[in-house]
Amino acid sequence: METINLVESFSEFKEFKNIDRSTMMLILEDVFGSMLEKKYGSSENFDIIVNIDKGDLEVWHNRVIVEDGEVEDANSQIAYSDAIKIEPDFEIGEEVSEPVRMSDFGRREILAIRQNLASKILELEKDSIYKKYQEQIGDLVTAEVYQVWKKEILALDDEDIELILPKTEQIPSDFYRKGDTVRAVVSRVEIKNNNPLIIISRTSPVFLERLFEQEVPEVYDGLITIKKIVRVSGERAKVAVESYDDRIDPVGACVGMKGSRIHGIVRELRNENIDVINYTTNSNLYITRALSPAKITSITIDEENKRAEVYLKPDQVSLAIGKGGFNIKLAGLLTGYEIDVYRETEIEGEDVDLKEFSDEIEGWVIEELKRIGCDTAKSVLNLSVEDLVNRTDLEQEMVEEVMRILKAEFE
């Protein structure tokens, strides 16, 4: 049977990996059935045989042989004199199957078939990709960077499906070139301009959770449960873990011998600091653990307003707050409490070194005070505002603000 250029089309279409054989056959039958209806008015008396492996298709026209001159419907009947031209042994009443040749159709009809077929296949392929990745939201994927733009990265998975990694979903220190391998989680799947848009993320807490599942067998097997993850991508993350098996130390298992397990995760996250803590329903203990590495003296909790007042030694305050305030911020997100930090002075009249106020007073101001011999809070408070203005390069407003901060320490 003549297939003209359609054989090449089938060879191309059968390569689609996300379309199963039966679906492809149904599409082909539907496309050619529509074509036959337009040309003959009906497709009831036609058999469409598809061979996807060989990349070809046959169409047979089935008609019943009737006496010459008694043909009432040319689609379902054929005159005896025409039937014996096909096969001399035919008799009246038998059914004739005659191949329909593509040359019977015009060039425009052939082109329309190809276009219709391509359109249906493409539509099905898009739908298949959308459904596939919709089911994989939250799963870890590995892809190859194909194109790097200012606001996003285009990567291809092992089936050459396009994945988008926006700048907002990248760790700040991420840097990729074409050909690099990128790991991320499927964040969401959208439809844009009738095309599936697959967004992946490296900043999502789910990405960190999947990395733990990959690096820590106990997490993957369910022996250790990750209760909650909070993170500021590229800076710090806190992971609360729990084990129902008393024989398993969840923190130790996640960190590994000499940090062997956690190091792989830290490298993937561009040296993001990861604090792994034991989960507990005891709010006091949970907040204490969440503020690690700071050591807390005491805690007062307001359960109704979900606030916690934490008291620490002066040298522990900066540890509790952390660089950029990330430690206290993540501790609050992890525990669900608004945490307020207070310095504790145990002995009445105890002095405090000025460096302990570095989170409230700028470094250059402290250095200026030290230059005139004021190393502690009380040594500054023992001087008047006028004396400090005259002896330093500080403005009066700045001096008054420093005095206010230092006085609050002893109130």
CATH topology of domain 208-279: GMP Synthetase; Chain A, domain 3 (3.30.300)
277-305 average pLDDT score: 93
Q: Taking all residues of the chain, what is their mean pLDDT, rounded to a whole number? A: 85
**What pLDDT does 103 receive?**
65
**Strand-pair partners of 101:** none
Task: List pLDDT tens digits, range 320-379.
Answer: 988 888 999 999 999 999 999 887 754 445 778 888 888 888 888 888 888 777 888 888
Question: What is the pLDDT confidence band of residue 1, given thresholds at 50, 70 and 90?
Answer: very low
Share of the chain above pLDDT 90, in %: 44
Highest mean predicted confidence (pLDDT) among 36-45, 178-187, 400-409: 178-187
249-269 average pLDDT score: 93
- Show me where the domains of the chain are located: 6-127, 136-203, 208-279, 354-410
Task: List pLDDT tens digits, range 119-152.
Answer: 877 888 888 899 999 999 999 999 999 999 999 9
CB 158 within 8 A of CB 150: no
More confident residue, 397 or 70: 397
Share of the chain above pLDDT 70, in %: 90
Q: Is the pTM of this model over 0.85?
A: no
**What pLDDT does 41 receive?**
75
What b/e string do you get for 172-205 counting C-beta neighbours within 10 Å, with b at 16 or more? eebeeeeeeebebbbbebeeeeeebebbbbbbbb
More confident residue, 254 or 70: 254
Instruction: Give all strands of the β-sheet with 338-343 in edge-to-edge order.
Output: 296-302, 307-312, 338-343
**What pLDDT does 7 receive?**
47
**What pLDDT does 331 receive?**
96
**What pLDDT does 2 receive?**
44
Pick the CATH number of 136-203 from 3.90.79.10, 3.40.50.300, 2.40.50.140, 3.50.50.60: 2.40.50.140
**What pLDDT does 279 receive?**
96
Q: Which of 38-47, 285-294, 377-386 has the lowest mean pLDDT?
A: 38-47
**What pLDDT does 19 receive?**
61
Residue 260, pLDDT above cutoff 50:
yes
Q: Which of 111-125, 140-154, 184-198 has the lowest mean pLDDT?
A: 111-125
Residue 75, pLDDT above cutoff 60:
yes
Q: Which of 47-56, 62-71, 382-391 has the lowest mean pLDDT?
A: 47-56
**What pLDDT does 15 receive?**
54
CB 99 within 8 A of CB 58: yes
Alpha-helical (H) ranges within 312-384 are 314-321, 326-335, 363-371, 377-381
- In single-letter form, the type of residue at position 82 comes to D
CB 219 within 8 A of CB 175: no
**What pLDDT does 4 receive?**
41
Q: Which of 104-113, 261-270, 316-325 has the lowest mean pLDDT?
A: 104-113
Alpha-carbon torsion (322, 328, 333, 335), positive or negative: positive
DSSP state of 353: B
8-37 average pLDDT score: 66
**What pLDDT does 208 receive?**
97
Pick the CATH number of 6-127 from 3.30.1370, 3.30.1480, 1.10.3470, 1.10.1060: 3.30.1480
Q: Which of 12-21, 219-228, 232-241, 327-336 has the lowest mean pLDDT?
A: 12-21
273-285 average pLDDT score: 95
Rounded to whole angstroms, the Cα distance separating 310 from 308 reads 6
Residue 29, pLDDT above cutoff 90:
no
